[in-house]
C-alpha cells in the first residue's frame, strides 16, 4: 500500500497551484493597467480589475512560501520512494514518479511537425523536466547538508534554479496533464475536440518553450532543430486558432455585467459604448467648479508659482 507522508496533506498541492496555475489567465491584467496610464479613461475599469486581481494571488500566503511547500511535497515523496514505498496521491498528480529512472533515460526524438501538435509530446517532455529538476534539487540539498547547513538553511539555499523551478514545472505539468486527459476523454463532445486539442497543445509547447535551456542542459533536447521545431509549432497552432479567437473569448470571458467595462462588451461596439459611458458619467456635460479661474478671473501670472 502507498504510504502518504504525515506532513503532506493534499492541501499542499492546492496552494502550489495558486500562483503558476493562475498566472497565465491573469498575466495580462498588469499590462492593461499600464495601458490605462497611456489614456484609457477610468470608466473602462482597468484599474479596478487590477486591484481586484492582486489579492487573488496572495489569499493563502506568500507565493514563494507556497512554491517551497510544493517542492517539499515532491522531495518527501522521493524520500518515501527511496525506502521502497510506491508513489501515489489522491489526484494521481505524482504517480508518474514511480517511473522516475525510466523517464530520466528518455530523450527528445525529433518527431514530425504533426506529432508535436499532439499535447502528449509536451506532456512527455514535462515529465522528464520535473524528474530532472527533482534530481538536481536532491543533489543540491545533499551538498548543502554536507557543507554543514541545517535543513531549513539548506532548503532556503536550494530554491533558486532548483526547488523553485521544480515547483513551477510540476504545477505546469499538472495543469497540462489534467487538461490533456479532459480533452481526450470520451465525455468531451467530438465537435469541440479539435479546438480544445489545439489549445492544450499550444499551452504545453508555449509553457515548455520557457524551459528549453534546462531541456538542452539536461540532454533531453539536442541540436538546433529541436528548439526551432517547438517554436514553429507554436506559431502554427496560433495560426490554426486565429479564426476561433473571437468565439473562444466569448466562451471564456466573464459576462458584461461582471466586467462592467464599455470597451469589453460582447457586442464589439467599442467606441460607441465608450462615448455612451462618457455622456452618462456624472457632471460630464457640466462646467467644472474651477472653470472661472481660467476664463473670467484668471490668476496673476506667477502667483501660483512655487516659492520653494
Least Cα distance to 129 among 169, 167, 162, 178 occurs for 169
pLDDT, greater one: 268 or 76: 76
pLDDT grade for 255, boundaries at 50, 70 and 90 = confident
Task: Quick: pLDDT tens for 88-123.
Answer: 999 999 999 999 999 999 999 876 656 888 999 999
The whole-angstrom separation of Cα 160 and Cα 14 is: 22
Which percentage of the chain shows pLDDT scores above 70? 80
- Is domain 52-248 classified as CATH 1.20.140.10? yes
Reply yes or no on whether the pLDDT at 35 is more than 70. no
How far, CA to CA in Å, does 3 sit from each of 10, 83, 285?
13, 10, 70
Q: How much is the pTM?
A: 0.77
State the average pLDDT for the chain: 83
Task: Quick: pLDDT tens for 234-247.
Answer: 999 999 999 998 88
Reply yes or no on whether the pLDDT at 9 is more than 80. no
pLDDT, greater one: 210 or 2: 210
Amino acid at each position: 500500500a502507498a504510504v502518504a507522508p504525515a506532513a503532506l496533506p493534499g492541501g499542499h498541492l492546492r496552494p502550489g497551484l495558486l500562483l503558476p496555475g493562475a498566472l497565465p489567465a491573469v498575466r495580462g491584467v498588469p499590462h492593461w493597467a499600464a495601458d490605462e496610464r497611456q489614456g484609457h479613461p477610468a470608466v473602462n475599469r482597468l484599474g479596478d480589475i487590477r486591484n481586484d486581481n492582486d489579492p487573488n494571488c496572495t489569499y493563502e500566503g506568500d507565493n514563494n512560501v507556497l512554491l517551497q511547500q510544493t517542492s517539499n511535497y515532491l522531495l518527501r515523496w522521493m524520500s518515501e520512494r527511496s525506502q521502497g514505498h510506491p508513489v501515489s496521491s489522491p489526484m494521481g498528480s505524482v504517480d508518474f514518479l514511480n517511473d522516475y529512472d525510466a523517464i530520466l533515460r528518455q530523450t527528445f526524438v525529433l518527431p514530425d511537425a504533426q506529432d508535436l501538435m499532439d499535447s502528449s509530446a509536451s506532456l512527455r517532455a514535462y515529465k522528464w523536466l520535473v524528474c530532472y529538476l527533482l534530481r538536481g534539487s536532491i543533489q543540491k540539498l545533499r551538498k548543502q547538508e554536507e557543507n554543514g547547513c541545517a535543513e531549513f538553511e539548506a532548503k532556503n539555499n536550494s530554491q533558486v534554479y532548483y526547488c523553485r523551478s521544480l515547483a513551477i514545472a510540476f504545477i505546469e505539468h499538472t495543469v497540462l496533464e489534467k487538461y490533456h486527459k479532459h480533452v481526450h476523454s470520451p465525455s468531451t463532445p467530438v465537435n469541440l475536440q479539435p479546438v480544445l486539442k489545439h489549445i492544450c497543445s499550444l499551452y504545453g509547447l508555449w509553457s515548455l518553450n520557457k524551459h528549453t535551456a534546462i531541456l538542452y542542459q539536461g540532454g533531453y533536447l539536442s541540436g538546433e532543430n529541436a528548439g526551432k521545431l517547438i517554436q514553429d509549432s507554436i506559431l502554427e497552432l496560433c495560426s490554426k486558432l486565429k479564426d476561433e479567437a473571437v468565439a473562444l473569448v466569448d466562451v471564456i470571458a466573464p459576462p458584461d455585467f461582471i466586467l462592467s467595462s464599455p470597451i469589453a462588451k460582447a457586442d464589439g461596439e467599442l467606441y460607441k459604448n465608450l462615448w455612451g459611458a462618457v455622456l452618462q458619467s456624472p457632471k460630464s456635460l457640466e462646467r467644472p467648479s474651477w472653470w472661472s479661474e481660467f476664463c473670467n478671473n484668471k490668476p496673476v501670472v506667477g502667483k501660483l508659482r512655487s516659492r520653494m
